[in-house]
């Protein structure tokens, strides 16, 4: 059959002996690489990954054979699930209950609800986690307890969920902080006996039963924020790099984390590559296939057989996948693909048919051989030491105002351990150095706290609650004889008149606000942009809208 490929512009496809241009809009679609073992699927995947890299996409590769990383560029990153050896072991650390960063009450509620919904979907729909059981009772447990943990505990984990289910004393201690109706709701779960909770416990315990899995699924936070990644990441799942029992559950959890970041617009232009798709077949992939394109997220799947997959998933793939790369197929799979009413013939060994059903476009060819471009080396920035990392707002004692520190300690909001300041949960509940004033929001208090530490770390004297020019700004910075007002803007950020009024009050003023709201601050004003709550990045200091660094 002759090629029909009427496209003259696009990306040069890495073929032997043929000059084919692959339209850029074809790249921004889902793809399926299908064929028997040993026909060349991995080699084609390596070439497709390189094409996406050259287009500047973020590429995340799930590599169960431990082969694709060899063809990655020097600036690609590799992770495996096993800890990094050394005097102190370093682990991948993630928390299945991490709440994504938020800047206001609306975002907080949305992101917390996303945690609850994700947990329920993972433990009900993903067979690896569900163990074939789900029902109204289990759904009740995975709804009520996570919601209460998110409300009353800082950075809750699966371990906390397990403790409440299994440990009477920890459950009783946790219940002491609940409202009466919440206590009733919680204890209704346990009034029906242990059998009521055993299925839920059986789902959780394998994820926290050993050192590696506990770090992977139940650390206090995601040590590495996947939304910050911008290049190519190889997740190595072969037995020589990762415990086989954890490869599938970790892959599924990471896919959910990526998806949640995508739908909250924290990531875009992301390509997911899954080799041996039939070994993972995550339920979340159906949503990615059906909805990913509208969020600038695309998936490239390689599998040995399409007809052997779940029929619903097979139908979803045939409906939503744009590009089919077909190597030698089984007879059953061959019948699924027709061109001009005729079944596509199997190509020669190591060749493939590229078929785009929506356009009836077609060519056959053989991909150039990918060459090994790097040596195996895990990206250390993804791994945390085997100790709970200090809070982002912890400081060395020499970096903090002694009077301020004394105030925190006297209120029971902080303690000093080995020269480090450890902030209590009560501190985080108040988000600052004192209880909030009247109706002050936690977001305003958070801005004040982050702003205080930002300037304090840079050697300035910083005071709260003192008068300046007849008014009381949120903070006052003292530089020798100069005093600078700092106004932290949350509720007034969209009130231009209030901003201008505060500029008139003080001859020298710095405004502090959440990142993303800088457009509300006059362009001739110095502003400190604070990351959303939960986002692990530094504030950005702009002097008259010209970045001066942090």
Mean pLDDT of 267-277: 96
pLDDT (0 to 100) of residue 444: 86
> Measured between alpha carbons, how far is 499 from 482 in angstroms, rounded to an integer?
22
> Measured between alpha carbons, how far is 337 from 335 in angstroms, rounded to an integer?
6
Mean pLDDT of 491-504: 85
Question: What would the two tokens of residue 361 be?
Answer: 């476009």
Contact 354, 364 (CB under 8 A): yes
Same domain as 114, residue 31: no
Same domain as 245, residue 368: yes
Residue 469 has pLDDT above 60, yes or no: yes
Q: pLDDT for 359-380, tens place per residue?
A: 889 999 999 999 998 999 999 9
* Beta-bridge partner residues of 271: 59, 298
pLDDT (0 to 100) of residue 261: 96
Share of the chain above pLDDT 90, in %: 56
Q: pLDDT for 111-151, tens place per residue?
A: 999 999 999 999 999 988 987 788 888 899 999 999 999 98
Same domain as 130, residue 30: no
Ranges 281-290, 301-310, 391-400, 518-527: which has the least confidence: 391-400
Ranges 35-49, 56-70, 185-199, 232-246: which has the least confidence: 185-199
Q: What pTM does this model have?
A: 0.81
pLDDT (0 to 100) of residue 197: 85
Ranges 140-144, 204-208, 544-548: which has the least confidence: 544-548
Contact 198, 42 (CB under 8 A): no
> Measured between alpha carbons, how far is 377 from 13 in angstroms, rounded to an integer?
29
Phi, psi of 396 (to 5 degrees): -70, 150
User: What confidence category does residue 480 fall into, taking pLDDT thresholds of 50, 70 and 90?
Assistant: confident
Same domain as 246, residue 372: yes
pLDDT (0 to 100) of residue 443: 85
**Which of 219-228, 496-505, 516-525 holds the top average pLDDT?**
219-228
Residue 403 has pLDDT above 70, yes or no: no
Task: Specify the pairing of strand 475-479 against strand 461-464.
Answer: antiparallel
pLDDT (0 to 100) of residue 13: 95
Largest CA distance in the chain: 86
> Measured between alpha carbons, how far is 531 from 508 in angstroms, rounded to an integer?
24
In a domain, 409, yes or no: no
Residue 440 has pLDDT above 50, yes or no: yes
pLDDT (0 to 100) of residue 88: 80
Q: Which domain holds residue 151?
A: 105-217
In a domain, 338, yes or no: yes
> Measured between alpha carbons, how far is 133 from 202 in angstroms, rounded to an integer?
10
> Measured between alpha carbons, how far is 135 from 371 in angstroms, rounded to an integer?
50
Residue 550 has pLDDT above 50, yes or no: no
pLDDT (0 to 100) of residue 525: 87
User: What confidence category does residue 394 fall into, taking pLDDT thresholds of 50, 70 and 90?
Assistant: very low
Question: What would the two tokens of residue 145 be?
Answer: 């307890």
Between 249 and 470, name the one with better pLDDT. 249
Share of the chain above pLDDT 70, in %: 89
Contact 142, 123 (CB under 8 A): yes
> Measured between alpha carbons, how far is 105 from 495 in angstroms, rounded to an integer?
18
Contact 83, 387 (CB under 8 A): no
CATH of the domain at 485: 3.40.1350
265: left (phi over 0), alpha (psi -120 to 50) or beta: left
Contact 158, 96 (CB under 8 A): yes
Residue 276 has pLDDT above 50, yes or no: yes
The mean pLDDT of the chain is: 87
In a domain, 100, yes or no: no
Same domain as 350, residue 277: yes
Same domain as 47, residue 119: no
Domain count, the chain: 3
User: What confidence category does residue 397 fall into, taking pLDDT thresholds of 50, 70 and 90?
Assistant: very low
pLDDT (0 to 100) of residue 97: 96
Residue 474 has pLDDT above 60, yes or no: yes
Same domain as 274, residue 374: yes
Between 441 and 502, name the one with better pLDDT. 502
Domain end residue (candidates: 190, 217, 244)? 217
pLDDT (0 to 100) of residue 427: 58
pLDDT (0 to 100) of residue 417: 64
In a domain, 331, yes or no: yes
pLDDT (0 to 100) of residue 21: 94
* Local structure of residue 432 (DSSP, 8 states): S
pLDDT (0 to 100) of residue 392: 38
Residue 353 has pLDDT above 90, yes or no: yes
pLDDT (0 to 100) of residue 158: 96
In a domain, 394, yes or no: no
pLDDT (0 to 100) of residue 351: 94
pLDDT (0 to 100) of residue 229: 94
Same domain as 491, residue 348: no
Same domain as 183, residue 274: no
Q: SS3 for 526?
A: strand
> Measured between alpha carbons, how far is 204 from 123 in angstroms, rounded to an integer?
9
Same domain as 246, residue 199: no
User: What confidence category does residue 431 fall into, taking pLDDT thresholds of 50, 70 and 90?
Assistant: very low
Q: SS3 for 363?
A: strand
Of 80, 81, 124, which is closest to residue 284 (Cα–Cα)? 124
């Amino acid at each position: 059959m002759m090629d029909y490929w009427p496209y003259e512009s696009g990306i040069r496809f890495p073929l032997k002996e043929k000059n084919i241009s692959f339209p850029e809009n074809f790249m921004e679609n889902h793809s399926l690489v299908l064929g028997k073992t040993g026909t060349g699927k991995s080699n084609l995947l390596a070439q497709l990954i390189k094409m996406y890299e050259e287009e500047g996409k973020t590429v995340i590769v799930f590599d169960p054979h431990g082969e694709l990383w060899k063809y990655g560029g020097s600036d690609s990153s590799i992770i495996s699930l096993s800890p990094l050896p050394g005097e102190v072991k370093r682990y991948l650390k993630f928390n299945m209950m991490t709440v994504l960063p938020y800047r206001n009450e609306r975002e907080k509620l949305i992101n917390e609800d996303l945690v609850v919904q994700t947990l329920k979907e993972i433990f009900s729909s993903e067979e690896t986690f569900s163990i074939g059981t789900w029902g109204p009772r289990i759904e009740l447990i995975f709804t009520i307890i996570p919601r209460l943990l998110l409300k009353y505990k800082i950075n809750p984990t699966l371990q906390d969920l397990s403790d409440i289910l299994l440990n009477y004393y920890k459950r009783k201690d946790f219940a002491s902080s609940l409202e009466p109706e919440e206590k009733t709701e919680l204890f209704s779960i346990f009034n029906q006996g242990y059998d009521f909770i055993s299925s839920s416990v059986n789902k959780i315990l394998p994820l926290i039963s050993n050192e590696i899995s506990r770090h992977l699924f139940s650390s206090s936070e995601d040590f590495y924020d996947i939304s910050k990644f911008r290049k190519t990441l190889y997740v190595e799942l072969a037995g020589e790099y990762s415990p086989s029992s954890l490869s599938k559950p970790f892959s599924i959890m990471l896919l959910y984390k990526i998806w949640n970041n995508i739908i909250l617009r924290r990531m875009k232009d992301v390509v997911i590559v899954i080799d041996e798709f039939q070994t993972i077949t995550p339920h979340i992939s159906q949503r990615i296939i059906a909805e990913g394109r509208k969020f600038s997220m695309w998936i490239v799947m390689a599998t040995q057989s399409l007809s052997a997959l779940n029929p619903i998933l097979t139908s979803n793939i045939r409906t939503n996948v744009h590009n089919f790369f077909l190597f030698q197929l089984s007879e059953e799979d061959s019948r699924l693909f027709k061109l001009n009413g005729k079944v596509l013939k199997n190509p020669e060994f190591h060749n493939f048919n590229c078929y785009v059903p929506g356009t009836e476009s077609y060519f056959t060819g053989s991909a150039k051989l990918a060459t090994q471009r790097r040596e195996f080396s895990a990206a250390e920035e993804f791994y945390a030491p085997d100790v709970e990392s200090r809070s982002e707002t912890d400081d060395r004692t020499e970096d903090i105002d002694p009077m301020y520190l004394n105030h925190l300690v006297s209120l029971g909001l902080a303690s000093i351990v080995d020269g480090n300041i450890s902030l209590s949960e009560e501190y985080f509940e108040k988000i600052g150095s004192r209880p909030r004033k009247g109706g002050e929001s936690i977001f305003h208090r958070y801005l004040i706290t982050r702003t205080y530490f930002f300037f304090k770390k840079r050697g300035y004297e910083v005071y709260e609650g003192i008068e300046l020019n007849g008014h009381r700004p949120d903070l006052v910075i003292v530089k020798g004889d100069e005093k600078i007002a700092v106004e932290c803007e949350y509720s007034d950020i969209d009130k231009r008149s209030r901003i201008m009024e505060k500029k008139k009050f003080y001859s020298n003023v710095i405004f502090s606000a959440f990142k993303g709201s800088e457009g509300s601050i006059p362009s001739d004003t110095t502003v400190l942009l604070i990351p959303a709550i939960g986002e692990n990045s530094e504030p950005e200091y702009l002097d008259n809208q010209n970045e001066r660094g942090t």
